[in-house]
């Protein structure tokens, strides 16, 4: 057997084996779909939807080594045996745990109170996946303490949400990635007239 082919094949096996070991990838597309589903559940079916805004994901890493033609069949067989294990992550993204459902119900109930303040511009969305008071002067004095409470309670639920989703998907280290996805999707799906902070931290109106 050609020595060069043997070493090349061994190197490929090692590379594919490494992929099997470390490829616990973050399923960005599935996370975005789950975020949209959750947001629609909280904000209701009137949430504005955009078509064609699904994220583009990477194609994976292509190996640079090409085996000789006579070894192609064996090479392909090894790849077909090992690669499914590397890509065995489920296509869906779990947002159905009891803890997540409790948070969703809490946020649904609170949204009925928060929605007028989104519409008036008193409360807006920030880039951390949270909400904040944008203009206290847009809130009648008698309501300001209640708005502060609503914002604080909403942010508590949102912080807990990102952590619980990561836990439900058996990857606590995904929490920051999940927050990033939700932060983007809250803004993308916000209704016309609502305010959000842009990448520079400035308030913009949709």
Residues 56/83, Cβ–Cβ less than 8 Å: no
CA 46 to chain centre: 21
Distance CA 134, CA 36 (A): 24
Whole-model pTM?
Answer: 0.70
Q: Which residue shows structure tokens 């070894």?
A: 71
Mind listing the pLDDT tens digit for each residue in 124-173? 999 999 999 999 999 999 999 999 999 999 999 999 999 999 999 999 99
pLDDT-based confidence at residue 92 (cuts at 50, 70, 90): confident
Q: Is the pLDDT of residue 181 over 90?
A: yes
């Amino acid at each position: 057997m050609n020595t060069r082919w043997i070493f090349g094949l061994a190197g490929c096996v090692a590379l594919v084996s490494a992929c099997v070991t470390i490829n616990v990838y973050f399923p960005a597309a599935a996370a975005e779909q789950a975020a949209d589903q959750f947001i629609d559940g909280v904000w209701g079916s009137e949430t504005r939807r955009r078509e064609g805004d699904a994220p583009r994901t990477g194609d994976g890493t292509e190996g640079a080594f090409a085996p000789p033609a006579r070894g192609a069949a064996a090479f392909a067989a090894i790849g077909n045996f090992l690669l499914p294990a590397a890509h065995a992550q489920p296509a869906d993204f779990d947002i159905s745990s009891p803890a997540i459902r409790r948070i969703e119900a809490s946020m649904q109930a609170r949204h009925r109170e928060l929605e007028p303040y989104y519409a008036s511009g008193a409360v807006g969305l920030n880039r951390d996946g949270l909400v904040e008071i944008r203009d206290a002067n847009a809130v009648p004095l008698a309501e300001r303490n209640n708005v502060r409470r609503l914002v604080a309670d909403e942010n508590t639920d949102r912080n807990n949400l990102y952590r619980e989703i990561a836990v439900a998907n058996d990857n606590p280290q995904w929490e920051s990635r999940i927050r990033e996805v939700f932060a983007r999707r809250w803004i993308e799906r916000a209704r016309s007239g609502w305010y959000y902070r842009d990448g520079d931290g400035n308030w913009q109106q949709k």
